[in-house]
C-alpha cells in the first residue's frame, strides 16, 4: 500500500520532494521499495520519533532547506488523488494552512455515561484527511510549541489551530480512506481494482 501512496505524490506535478518518515528498522526496506517503484522524488527516508508530533518534526527537518510548503500525509492513505493533493497545496500557498475534508455522512451523537445525550448537527461537521499542507515556518512553530507543551495532537491541523492560525478546508475524497482495520484493506483493494478497470 505504501507504494501506492508514494506513487500518488510522485505523479503530482505540485510535489517537488518526498521525505518518508518511518521506524528505524523500515528505513532500508522502504528505500528499496521506493527504488523498485521508481519514486524519483524521494529525497530521504528518516527515522520518526516517539509521537506523531516528533515524527512530523523529524520529517520537516529532513526536507530540503528551501522547502516553502510541507504536505504531511499518512502512509496508510494509499488512495489519495493528485487533485486532492494539488487543491490542498494551492490553498496552503494562498493561506498558510489547508487540509482536505469530506462531509460527515452518518448522524453523530454525543454520548454520556453510555447513553445518547445529544445530537450533533452534521451540517457543520467534516472528517479531515491528509495531506495536510502548511507553510514550513508555520508548521515548525506549531510542532515546536506542541512539543514544548507536551501536547499529543491526533493531526497537524490541531497544532496549527492551537496557534490561532486558521486551516482552510479543501475538497477531500471518500476514496481517500485511512487503512487501519482489516475491513479497510478489503475496501481499499476493491477501490484499487476499480481504478485498474
d(CA 125, CA 154): 17
Q: How far apart are CA 69 and CA 135, in angstroms?
A: 5
pLDDT band at 171 (very low <50, low <70, confident <90, very high): very high
88-114 CB burial, b ≥16 within 10 A, e <16: bbbbbeeebbbbbbbeeeeeeeeeeee
Average predicted confidence (pLDDT) for the chain = 93
User: Is the preceding omega at residue 131 within 30 degrees of 0, hence cis?
Assistant: yes
Q: What is the mean pLDDT of residues 84-103?
A: 98
Closest CA to 181 of 76, 46, 69, 84: 76
The CATH number given to 2-196 is 3.90.550.10
Task: Tell me the domain boundaries of the chain.
Answer: 2-196
Say how far apart CA 60 and CA 147 lie, in whole Å.
Answer: 14
Q: Would you state the pLDDT for residue 197? A: 53
Q: What is the C-alpha separation between 34 and 36, in angstroms, rounded?
A: 5
Q: Is the pLDDT of residue 154 over 70?
A: yes
The per-residue pLDDT for range 109-131, each reduced to its tens digit, is 999 999 999 999 888 899 999 99
Q: CA Rg, the chain, in Å? A: 17
CA angle at 173 for the pair 37 and 106, rounded to the nearest 5°: 135
91-120 mean pLDDT:
95
What digits encode the pLDDT tens for the residues 74-90?
989 999 999 999 999 99
Alpha carbons 79 and 189: distance in angstroms, whole number = 10
pLDDT tens, position by position, 22-73: 999 999 999 999 999 999 999 999 999 988 999 999 999 999 999 999 999 9
Is the pLDDT at 101 greater than 80, yes or no? yes
Is residue 150 within 8 A of residue 144, CB to CB? The reply is no
Q: What average pLDDT does this structure show over 132-151?
A: 95
Amino acid at each position: 500500500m505504501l507504494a501506492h501512496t508514494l506513487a500518488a505524490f510522485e505523479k503530482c506535478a505540485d510535489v517537488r520532494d518526498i521525505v518518508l518518515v518511518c521506524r528505524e528498522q523500515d528505513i532500508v526496506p522502504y528505500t528499496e521499495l521506493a527504488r523498485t517503484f521508481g519514486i524519483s522524488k524521494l529525497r530521504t527516508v528518516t527515522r520518526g520519533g516517539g509521537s506523531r508530533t516528533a515524527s512530523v518534526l523529524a520529517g520537516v527537518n529532513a526536507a530540503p532547506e528551501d522547502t516553502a510548503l510541507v504536505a504531511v500525509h499518512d502512509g496508510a492513505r494509499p488512495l489519495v488523488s493528485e487533485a486532492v493533493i494539488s487543491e490542498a497545496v494551492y490553498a496552503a500557498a494562498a493561506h498558510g494552512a489547508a487540509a482536505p475534508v469530506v462531509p460527515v455522512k452518518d448522524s453523530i451523537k454525543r454520548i454520556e455515561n453510555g447513553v445518547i445525550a445529544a445530537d450533533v448537527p452534521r451540517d457543520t461537521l467534516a472528517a479531515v484527511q491528509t495531506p495536510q499542507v502548511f507553510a514550513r515556518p508555520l508548521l515548525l512553530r506549531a510542532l515546536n510549541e506542541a512539543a514544548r507543551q507536551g501536547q499529543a495532537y491526533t493531526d497537524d491541523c490541531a497544532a496549527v489551530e492551537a496557534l490561532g492560525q486558521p486551516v482552510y478546508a479543501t475538497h477531500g475524497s471518500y476514496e481517500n480512506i485511512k487503512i487501519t482495520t482489516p475491513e479497510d484493506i478489503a475496501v481499499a483493494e476493491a477501490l484499487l481494482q476499480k481504478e485498474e478497470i
